[in-house]
Amino acid sequence: MTNHHKTGFRRWLKGLTLKRVHRMITCREFEDFVLSYLDGELPDRQRSVFEWHMRICRECRDYLAAYKRAEELGRAVLPSPNDPLPKDVPEDLINAILDAREL
């Protein structure tokens, strides 16, 4: 059995197991809950099912860790209101604004 087949088999087995666990969600359903989970907006029961899925499913656990890291990086790198302000505001822009106000 090649590695590719092993991975496929493991995934198939996990899919089968998840379907048999009462009230368990699939990975696709897990995906739909990610944002609400991170925003703390999931009701208690849904949150515990979400966390239960994460304990069973390594793929979703790893995915969520990488998703959160990507989000942190985005927040850190996107231009921010805390960045230094431009010092070179063009005088002609200020004049254009004031001239237009008089029209």
Q: Which residues bind another protein (CB under 8 A)?
A: 8, 11-12, 14-16, 18-19, 26-31, 34-35, 57-60, 62-63, 65-67, 69-81, 83, 85-87, 89-90, 93-94, 96-98, 100-101
Cα distances (Å, whole numbers) of residue 39 to 33, 42, 78 = 10, 8, 20
The widest CA-to-CA distance across the chain, in whole angstroms, is 80
Quick one: 1 or 100, whose CB is closer to another protein? Answer: 100
Sequence-ordered list of residues with C-beta below 8 angstroms from that of 57, at least 6 positions apart, any chain:
14, 18, 27, 30
45 versus 76: smaller Cβ distance to another protein: 76
Instruction: State the nearest-atom distance from the C-beta of 97 to another protein, in Å.
Output: 5
Nearer to another protein, 40 or 90 (CB): 90
Sign of the dihedral defined by the CA atoms of residues 87, 90, 93, 95, in that order: positive
Whole-number minimum distance, CB 82 to another protein, in Å? 10
